[in-house]
Amino acid sequence: MENRLYELLEIKTKDDLGTVSKKVKIRVPKLRKYAQNMVIPSGEDAKKIQQYLGISDLVYRLKLGDIDLNLKEKIAQHASEIAELFEKETTVIEDISTVPVFETELGKLYHDDSIQVMKNMPDESVDLVFADPPFNLGKDYESRIDDKLSKETYLRWTNQWVKEAVRIVKPGGSVFIWNLPKWNVHISNMMEGHLTLRHWVAVDMKYGLPINGKLYPSHYSLLYYVKGSKPNVFNPERIPLDVCHTCGHELKDYGGYKSKMNPKGVNLSDVWNDIYPVRHSKYKNRGSNELPLKLLDRIISIATNPGDTVFDPFGGSGTTYAVAEILKRKWIGSEIGPVDQIIDRLKHLEMESRQIDEIHSKKNHLFLPNIEALRRKNGYWLPEDFEGPQVEQERLF
């Protein structure tokens, strides 16, 4: 029953919950919902709790972490006094000794807890952090980690590794975090004030299932932050125009802007609908979900150049490390669960190298060869129809 509200009310058992409920005059289901969803009681319920505990509204807010900008400003004004209180506490520094279980010319893989690995890494030492943490959905991972924590416990753990990720990324380096929107809302808040938000990328979720009483969940969230005002590296690819694969006609009407389309393709947006889950057993490297090569190829290509260093704290099936190897990036990785499959995968990258080549062959083309031939057959416009120096100066997309 770990939760800040329960801690404040000294609720440790179900019996405690019932007793406090009667005394504070807030029903058990309501108190439980506040705790499970990490919602700070407000209005009349807040007054009831304050009266029960005999504390002021300010103490109540501080104890529950309800700190708005005005309160942050007041805390900053008294920073010295507050710091003195914290400095009196004894800090235990852990002796961390971690060695890689596998190495290549470009990378190192650690079979250890990601937070411990990060604590052993120097400040501002990597160019890109990509993290795909457990989603806390109660899944049975090979690592046997507890994937069904309370919301409070999950976010406390998340805050630990996010803090380390912020520390180890270089100025101008990037942090990408892949998660469900419900968690990335909180993670984004953790990174605000430390990194600069570049984009919240919505990645279309294929084969998502409807949830009764809610809107149909149809995207994963990919946070893209940078340390500083702008990234050191930004290499966005261009993608083909959306067309009908039967006739080749474009699906969006560009009207009078056809002549301004860049022959290398359309600008990548913050909605990605061309990333597909790994379903076929031929391409899967483990029983649990696995990130597609195309996703990691895009992220690593956007935020790094060959020779730059990529760090992924949650190795999973090793997709990040495989793509980093193929793209000639240095990499560091950790996985708390079994690593044999990752190691075997990294020793045999021939098929995935071919997949990456195929992915690259489809980048930076307004129309792929088969679509171009189909459009020419059906008399639809092509970039060559609008050639000329004036047109080149006016390319918009």
d(CA 101, CA 340): 10
Query: Does residue 79 lie within any of the structural domains?
Result: yes
Instruction: Pick the more confident residue, 216 or 350.
Output: 350
Q: Is the pLDDT of residue 389 over 60?
A: no
Q: Are residues 59 and 154 in the same domain?
A: no
Query: Does residue 298 lie within any of the structural domains?
Result: yes
Q: What is the pTM of this model?
A: 0.89
Q: Are residues 59 and 126 in the same domain?
A: no
Q: Are residues 111 and 190 in the same domain?
A: yes
Q: Are residues 271 and 159 in the same domain?
A: yes
What's the structural domain count of the chain?
2
Q: Are residues 189 and 124 in the same domain?
A: yes
Instruction: For 115-136, write each residue's pLDDT tens digit.
Output: 999 999 999 999 999 999 999 9
| Region 345-374 average pLDDT | 96
Assign 326 a pLDDT band (cuts: 50, 70, 90): very high
CA angle (13, 18, 23) in 5-degree steps: 120
Contact criterion met (CB below 8 Å) for 20 and 31: yes
Query: Does residue 349 lie within any of the structural domains?
Result: yes
Q: At what angle do helices 319-326 and 293-303 cross, to 10 degrees?
A: 60
Q: Is the pLDDT of residue 143 over 60?
A: no
Q: Are residues 38 and 160 in the same domain?
A: no
Beta bridge partners of 178: 222
d(CA 359, CA 285): 19
Contact criterion met (CB below 8 Å) for 42 and 34: no
Q: Are residues 271 and 304 in the same domain?
A: yes
Which of residues 59, 87, 115 is at a domain's end? Answer: 87
d(CA 35, CA 261): 52
Which of residues 87, 114, 145 is at a domain's end? Answer: 87
Q: Are residues 191 and 265 in the same domain?
A: yes
Tokens of 141: 């991972």
Q: Are residues 21 and 130 in the same domain?
A: no
Which of residues 28, 54, 87 is at a domain's end? Answer: 87
Q: Are residues 214 and 330 in the same domain?
A: yes
Instruction: Pick the more confident residue, 365 or 279.
Output: 365
Q: Which residues contact 93 (CB under 8 A, 6 or more apart)?
A: none
Query: Does residue 331 lie within any of the structural domains?
Result: yes
Instruction: For 68-116, write each residue's pLDDT tens digit.
Output: 989 989 999 999 998 988 887 655 555 556 799 999 999 999 999 999 9
pLDDT at 205: 78
pLDDT at 64: 93
Q: Are residues 145 and 278 in the same domain?
A: yes
pLDDT at 97: 62
Query: Of 277, 314, 260, which Cα lies nearest the Cα of 111?
Result: 314
Instruction: For 189-213, write each residue's pLDDT tens digit.
Output: 999 999 999 999 999 976 667 778 8
Contact criterion met (CB below 8 Å) for 396 and 265: no
Instruction: For 151-172, write each residue's pLDDT tens digit.
Output: 999 999 999 999 999 999 999 9
Instruction: For 229-261, write each residue's pLDDT tens digit.
Output: 999 999 999 999 999 999 999 998 876 788 888
HEC string of the chain equals CCCHHHHHHCCCCHHHHHHHHHHHCCCHHHHHHHHHCCCCCCHHHHHHHHHHHCCCHHHHHHHHCCCCHHHHHHHHHCHHHHHHHHHCCCCCCCCCCCCCCEECCCEEEECCCHHHHHHCCCCCCEEEEEECCCCCCCCCCCCCCCCCCCHHHHHHHHHHHHHHHHHHEEEEEEEEEEECHHHHHHHHHHHECCEEEEEEEEEECCCCCCCCCCCCCCEEEEEEEECCCCCCCCCCCEECCCECCCCCCECCCCHHHHHHCCCCCEECCCEECCCCCCCCCCCCCCCCCCCCHHHHHHHHHHHCCCCCEEEECCCCCCHHHHHHHHCCCEEEEECCCCCHHHHHHHHCCHHHHHHHHHHHHCCCCCCCHHHHHHHHHHCCCCHHHHCCHHHHHCCCC
Query: Of 57, 39, 62, 53, which Cα lies nearest the Cα of 9?
Result: 53
Q: Is the pLDDT of residue 186 over 70?
A: yes
Instruction: For 267-317, write each residue's pLDDT tens digit.
Output: 999 999 999 887 544 545 544 567 999 999 999 999 999 999 999 999 999
What is the CATH classification number for the domain harbouring 273? 3.40.50.150
Query: Does residue 382 lie within any of the structural domains?
Result: no
Q: Is the pLDDT of residue 263 over 80?
A: yes
Q: Are residues 37 and 109 in the same domain?
A: no
Beta bridge partners of 239: 266
Query: Does residue 37 lie within any of the structural domains?
Result: yes
Query: Does residue 34 lie within any of the structural domains?
Result: yes
Range of the domain at 230: 102-361
Would you say how long the chain is, in residues? 397
CA 359 to the chain's CA centroid = 22
Query: Does residue 395 lie within any of the structural domains?
Result: no
